[in-house]
Amino acid sequence: MTNWPLDAVELAQALIRCESVTPVEGGALSALEGWLAPLGFACERMPFTDEGTPDVDNLFARAGSPNAGPHICFAGHTDVVPIGDRADWKHGPFDADIADGILFGRGTVDMKGAIAAFVAASAAYVTETGEDLPGAISFLITGDEEGPSVNGTKKMLPLLAERGERFDACIVGEPTNPDAMGDMIKIGRRGSLNGVLTVNGIQGHVAYPERADNPVHNILPLLNALVQEPLDDGHPHFPPSSLQATSIDVGNMTTNLIPAKAEARFNVRFNANFDSAKLESEIRRRLDAVGQPYSLKVAVSGESFVTEPGPLTETIAKAVEAVSSRRPEFSTTGGTSDARFIKDYCPVVELGLISATAHQVDEHVATADITALAETYLEVLRDFFKAGS
């Protein structure tokens, strides 16, 4: 019979009541410190600032030996997206109401429920093992995941590495299950590249096209060159890379003017067949083949990565199956997460709640699911340290 010193649902309610709309801390990190410090976690605030982005506060908390035994890290974010129109919510977005076994509030799914579950699991495990942990448990909690993702995990990791901090494995508590607990864990993510393609022309009257050079006409074959052939046929752990045009703009409000410039934007979600440099090279090769002058700017928000199935994924899958009686699918679907930064420091897997209502009005989760996730995390801790001992 597991002794649960802290109740995961009550912790989730307390976190939801913290109005931590990104980048505001809202008391969420202070609440975590109040729970973790009595468990023996050394807590450190890690604020960062950068020009043109909001200042962000973050938390690193660690318990256990600095030198002996394996180190598992739980990573997540306490910041949440804005609520939209408060009048649209049947339950107050920060009231943390429970009705018929359902917990309502902004961040229940993404991802305060998961953070609460890991705190509860860590408290139970520390109670089981006493003062001498067979390794180290840490929390890497940011307030910048829903924002620019500049002053959070991305800056915490290199600073901790400079200090000699080493992680053997990391679980990110992003919501991973499409429909039911036990459906899925994420073992990787596609990369994301944004492109801005610009073609300059000569402005003129539409009645005298011979005196102008229409950039709209000239940008179309360039876009066609980008999409007419697939980038690849897929990867063992990923679907084919996908290039999607998202806009073509000329800023022209009149009907009788040939514009001077046309601009197209596109996004590529790319699999592990590419890194961003290789992908950009392929994009430019296709554009150059058209023989039309252009300029291209690219920005990469994350590289593709995969944690190959092995000891970590099996430990987590076994824990999921033990609690939910379902063998989870290993998936790389979805957008990006802070796992894209963590993968450079240790193997990382994402495991959290059901994603269906993330970012929606009346975001909610079953209280039983939060409890089940805490039980799953506890099983992971037990097996992880047993295997590493």
CA distance 207 to 326: 67
**Beta-carbon contacts of residue 131 (< 8 Å; ≥ 6 apart):** 40
Q: Does 145 participate in catalysis according to the annotation? A: yes
Alpha-carbon span 320 to 325, nearest angstrom? 7
Backbone angles phi, psi at 4, to 5 degrees: -110, 95
Query: Residue 365: exposed, middle, or buried by beta-carbon count in 10 A (0-12, 13-18, 19+)?
Result: buried
Distance from chain centroid for Cα 31: 22
Contact 257, 205 (CB under 8 A): yes
Q: How far apart are the first and last CA of the chain?
A: 23
57, 79, 110, 369: which one is catalytic?
79
With b meaning 16 or more CB within 10 Å and e meaning fewer, what string describes 314-341? ebbbbbbeebbeeebbbbbebebbbbbb
Please name the residues in contact with 3: beta carbons below 8 A apart, sequence gap of 6 or more. Answer: 124, 127, 128
Any catalytic annotation for residue 79? Answer: yes
Cα 24 to Cα 20: distance, rounded to the nearest angstrom: 5
Q: Is the peptide bond before 46 cis (omega within 30 degrees of 0)?
A: no
Query: Which residues neighbour 239 within 8 Å (Cβ) at sequence distance 6 or greater?
Result: 271, 333
Candidates 25, 144, 145, 165; catalytic one: 145
Q: What positions carry a catalytic annotation?
A: 79, 145
